[in-house]
Chain A
Amino acid sequence: MDVGIGLRARHVAEVLARRPPAVWFEVHAENYLGGGPAIAELETVRHDCPVALHGVGLSLGSAEGLDHRHLRRVRALVDRLQPRLVSEHLSWSIVGGAYLNHLLPLPYTADTLALVARHVEQAQDALRRPLLIENPSSYLRYRHSTIPEAEFLAELARRTGCGVLCDVTNVHVTCRNFGLDAGQYLAALPAETVGEIHLAGHSVNDAGGRPILIDDHGSRVAGPVWDLYARALERFGPVPTLIEWDTDVPPLAVLLEEAAIAGRLGRPALAGARGVPAA
């Protein structure tokens, strides 16, 4: 089973020393767009293990359009690293020249779909490769949204040729927060478009007496998310899967344990044909 972990600064030295076998690494593109030793270290990692680039800064849903200077910098990084996968988010972060450092939700309308499709095409043209677009975790919905998120992603993929990065934790979080059916969500994603899966920990918080789930990437993957992951594998087949952890980052060994769990869950999917339920 094809499992990776998000590579964080505090683990780089250990990864270089230990070269853990049978995993690949994903990094945030924006952390490698300056000078200094970080990029050289990443190139060393890349000698032995595949590396994927995960962007958080393109702001594909910004009404004011893409930042082409940023796109050029990402392109230079893609050219240099030749990553196995390049992904971004179905969200926005930039308005009026301010970058709000959050993957903010979009209203899912026909107009938004046309805008995001245009930006995905511009990005794919600039990077000269298809992108995977990730579903966000949401804590709010807009009154004028008319298209369910999974259908929005399916149509985006159909129009632009992009793939989908299915963040199973985000599916769980969003569906629980709004009383939606996570199984239906997965069923609305065309299996052949899903090119990667993300898994991370989330927290359950109390908001005025009702639970609200927040995807804080700060703990082990929760039981219900592992269950949903098993269902995702039944539907999508053995797609590359990544363990993410960003707050209170634990020792590397903990991430490798999580990756091993994903690997074990992935074996039945590997045995079955893609898209055919194993049961």
Chain B
Amino acid sequence: MSPLRELQAAMRAALLDEPGRAPVTAILDDGLGAEARLAIYRHHVLDSLTEVLGATYPVVRRLVDERFFAYAADRYIRRHPPAGPYLFEYGAAFADFLAGFPPCAHLAYLPDVARLEWAINVAAHAPDAVPLDPRALQGLDPTDAPRLRFGVHPSLTLLASPWPVDRIWRANLPDSAETTVDLAAGGARLAVCRRGEQVVLDALEPAPWALRAALAGGRSLEEAAAAALGLDPGLDLAAALRALLEDGTLIAFTLSPREEAP
């Protein structure tokens, strides 16, 4: 390892306070002490990344209060520092971290609220995509339809929770009229995506949600339709697909190979 590489690894250990770190002997005391000097940098690293997480997770921050949020963020940042300079991509694992963080175990809905806020963040920053032109499907042989697989808009996340996370989220927006949420009100099945410049949350019935989730997961139209119709045999599949084309959810399609005759 080059001396510079060694120094940078030692600085990282010191800034993130990694266990077993050694003093960075290359730093001059300059009348203040190397540790006090490192602390200035550590404060900025943790503070600025806490701000980044707070901007992505404002409702989580509000639910647990500012001080607890700073404490949880501090633990998270030390364990999961950013992998790159795109800070809008930072914090993907925060919901899972909260789910395993004992001090907030009593807030069972908190990780799912964090998942919703992450989905909103992903939707806001996802690349732009051109919706699939329905005319592209017109030339298909109808018997090929079951083998269709679709690419979905990169901003789309499908989220299912046993908690009413969309209501919790809305109630905690600034200036929200709603101030209480009945946690026993039942779960939520949500589609979060960006349409134009706007991030939208759609609360869906189980069958249309399952259709989207299966297609977004790369399943064929046949498999996705089976999953949706299994939940609601009365679902108007053609209308549901038209809706997905009209709202720009679908952006591409492929035909999976025909199964070989036995």
A interface, CB within 8 angstroms of B:
30-31, 33-37, 40, 56-59, 61-64, 67, 70, 92-102, 104, 106-107, 111-112, 115, 139-144, 178, 207-208, 210, 212, 214
Bound Cα distance A178, B48 (Å): 25
List the one stretch of B35-43, B184-192, B244-252 in contact with chain A: B35-43
Which residues of the partner chain A approach B87 to less than 8 Å between Cβ atoms?
30, 101
B5 touches A99 (CB 8 A): no
A111 touches B4 (CB 8 A): yes
Which residues of the partner chain A approach B5 to less than 8 Å between Cβ atoms?
63-64, 95
Q: A36-B124, A95-B5 are in contact. List 13 more A-B contacts (CB 8 A).
A: A30-B85, A35-B154, A56-B85, A63-B8, A96-B12, A100-B12, A100-B45, A101-B82, A101-B87, A107-B26, A140-B40, A140-B41, A212-B32
A98 touches B28 (CB 8 A): no
A95 touches B36 (CB 8 A): no
Kindly provide the distance from the CB of B231 to the nearest chain A CB, expressed in whole angstroms.
32
Bound Cα distance A178, B28 (Å): 11
6 sample A-B contacts, Cβ–Cβ < 8 Å, listed by A number: A34-B126, A36-B125, A62-B8, A70-B84, A70-B85, A94-B84
**Chain B stretch 33-57: residues in CB contact (< 8 A) with chain A:** 33-34, 36-38, 40-41, 44-45, 48-49, 52
B127 touches A35 (CB 8 A): yes
With A36-B194, A96-B12 already in contact, the answer to whether A139 and B82 are too (CB < 8 A) is: no
B32 touches A98 (CB 8 A): no
B11 touches A34 (CB 8 A): no
B86 touches A101 (CB 8 A): no
With A34-B125, A93-B85 already in contact, the answer to whether A140 and B34 are too (CB < 8 A) is: yes
4 A-B pairs closest in CB distance: A57-B85, A34-B125, A63-B5, A35-B127
With A95-B8, A140-B27 already in contact, the answer to whether A35 and B126 are too (CB < 8 A) is: yes
B interface, CB within 8 angstroms of A:
2-5, 7-9, 11-12, 15-16, 25-28, 30-34, 36-38, 40-41, 44-45, 48-49, 52, 81-89, 124-128, 154-155, 194, 197
Q: Which of B33, B49, B89, B126 contacts A101 (CB 8 A)?
A: B49
Kindly provide the distance from the CB of B12 to the nearest chain A CB, expressed in whole angstroms.
5
Q: What is the chain A residue whose CB lies nearest that of B5?
A: A63
Q: Which of B4, B44, B52 counts the most A-chain CB atoms under 10 A from its CB?
A: B4
With A35-B125, A100-B45, A141-B28 already in contact, the answer to whether A111 and B85 are too (CB < 8 A) is: no
Which residues of the partner chain B approach A59 to less than 8 Å between Cβ atoms?
85
Q: What is the chain A residue whose CB lies nearest that of B48?
A: A101
A210 touches B4 (CB 8 A): no
B7 touches A107 (CB 8 A): yes
With A35-B125, A141-B28 already in contact, the answer to whether A97 and B4 are too (CB < 8 A) is: no
Which residues of the partner chain B approach A31 to less than 8 Å between Cβ atoms?
88
Q: Which of A33, A36, A70, A104 contacts B197 (CB 8 A)?
A: A36
Which residues of the partner chain A approach B8 to less than 8 Å between Cβ atoms?
62-64, 92, 95, 104
